[in-house]
Structure 1
Amino acid sequence: MAISKNKMVSLTYDLRIGGAEGEMIEQATAERPLNFIYGAGTMLPKFEALLEGLEQGKSFEINLNSADAYGEVDENAIVDLPKSIFIMEGKFDDEMIKVGNTVPMMSTSGQRMNGLVLEVTEETVKMDFNHPLAGEDLHFKGDILEVREATDEEIAASVQGGCGSGCGCGDGESSCGDGGCGCEDESCSTESTQGGCGCGH
């Protein structure tokens, strides 16, 4: 059976940045494969397109430039937020809000996103809402483990935003976290509990 729309696909991959000899940043193994419904919109479009037609047992090698992956770094997604929005019970959360930490956030429109803390000053917190892999060229190498018809329940779950697994989410666990904010100061809060789920981009 070949990969096509509404097929459940299970695959392994090694993900490297900057080409086949670059640093490996993520891996899906036979024990913990990436599972997704083809055509459900949960994966990077170009990644999916280059898998179409492959069958179980086939190997693949895919190069995505940054434009086809998570885009270029957007300077507008690097913002200064007032420290007041990080005050919990009258106290600034300096355990969570420190340089190098990734903080789950939510915009006023309900969009979940992750922000990387770049700088903390007396008045503001500078955060980067670009995807962690923005500006990076991605190289995938892997094997197709299984291709089968997806069940109605699996298709319904994917349509409702069931996350499943992400392609190049950057945490080594194939979990999801979507960046790309570009929010204004007043539209951000720390009300969400854990990161976003848009595995595509």
Structure 2
Amino acid sequence: MCNSLENRIEKNSAVLLHFTLTLEDGSIAESSRLSGKPALFCLGDQSLSDMLEDQLLGLKVNDKKNFTLPAVAAFGEKNPDLIQYFSREDFSNIGLPEVGAVILFTAINGREMPGIVYEVMEESITVDFNHPLAGHSVNFDIEVLKIDPQDGKKNENIVS
């Protein structure tokens, strides 16, 4: 259950905010400002890293904050076990993918997982199931719009 006391972000607060994520080279990885759609998060629901939640704690509506998180606290380090190799035959139903294509795969448990085609060779196709920002430290530029908003839906595609 999300709640808040004294109009400050606390451990179980729901927070509506705008954010821009930039990488080490200054490129924008994602921005709710550019899309015009703020993101709704509920602290304590395990969708955000502890270090990211710590940066939000205590902020009030209209507060702005800029901070950088290391890869491990943002989207994790690259995990070599999440790079998988497939035969070209595995793609016979959809055709040969191009490098950089994002394809949804169904895991053994039935869950869908996006994978990025990393390499297409004569015998095999390499697919990376790491988050695209894994292995990168990320700069967060945030602005708190509302705390415990009653409207809106949680954005599950943002920062995990």
Shorter-chain TM range is 0.7 to 0.9
CA distance in 1 between counterparts of 2:107 and 2:89 reads 16
How far has the Cα of 1:123 moved from its partner?
3.2
Tell me the TM-score normalised to structure 2 length: 0.82
Tell me the amino acid that sits aligned with residue 44 of structure 1. Answer: S
1:163–1:140 distance in 2 versus 1, CA, 3 Å: closer
Once the 2 structures are TM-superposed, how far is the Cα of residue 10 of structure 1 from its aligned partner? 0.8
Q: How many aligned residue pairs are there? A: 153
Is the CA contact 1:17–1:136 (under 8 Å) kept in the aligned structure 2?
yes
Structure 2 CA distance, aligned partners of 1:36 and 1:9? 5
The residue aligned with 2:46 is 41
Q: State the partner residue of 2:92.
A: 87
Answer whether contact 2:9 2:58 (CA < 8 A) is retained.
yes
Q: How does 1:148-187 map to 2 (within 5 A)?
A: 148=148, 164-167=156-159
**TM-score scaled by length of structure 1:** 0.67
Residues 11 and 44, structure 2, Cα contact 8 Å, conserved in 1: yes
Mapped partners of 1:163, 1:12: distance in 2: 12
Residues 56-87 of structure 1: per-residue CA shift (max 9 Å, x gap): 11111121001111222222222211223222
Quote the Cα distance in structure 2 between the aligned partners of 1:128 and 1:65. Answer: 21
Give the Cα–Cα distance (whole angstroms) in 2 for the partners of residues 68 and 8 of structure 1.
Answer: 20
Q: Report 1:71-110 matches (<5 A).
A: 71-88=76-93, 93-94=95-96, 97-110=97-110
Q: 1:163 to 1:83 in 2, by over 3 A?
A: farther
The match for 2:19 is 13
For residue 51 of structure 1, report the CA deviation from its aligned partner. Answer: 0.3
For residues 100 and 164 of structure 1, do their structure 2 counterparts lie closer, same or farther at Cα, with a shift above 3 Å needed? closer
What residue ranges of structure 1 are gaps of 5+ in the alignment? 168-199
CA RMSD between the two structures:
2.4
The 3 A distance-change label for structure 1 pair 107 and 120 is same
SS in 2 for 1:55: coil
Deviations 1:104-163 (A, max 9, x none): 112112232211112223432111111111110000112111112669xx8xx8xxxx75
Work out which of the residue numbers 48, 52, 58 in structure 2 matches 1:53: 58
* 2:158 maps to amino acid: G
Q: Which residue of 1 aligns with 2:3?
A: none
Residues 1:4 and 2:5 are matched in the alignment: no
Letter in 1 for 2:134: A
Measure, in 2, the Cα distance between the counterparts of 1:115 and 1:65: 23
Q: 1:25 aligns with which of 26, 29, 33?
A: 29
SS state of the match for residue 148, structure 2? strand
Which segments of 5 or more consecutive residues in structure 2 lack a partner in the other structure?
1-6
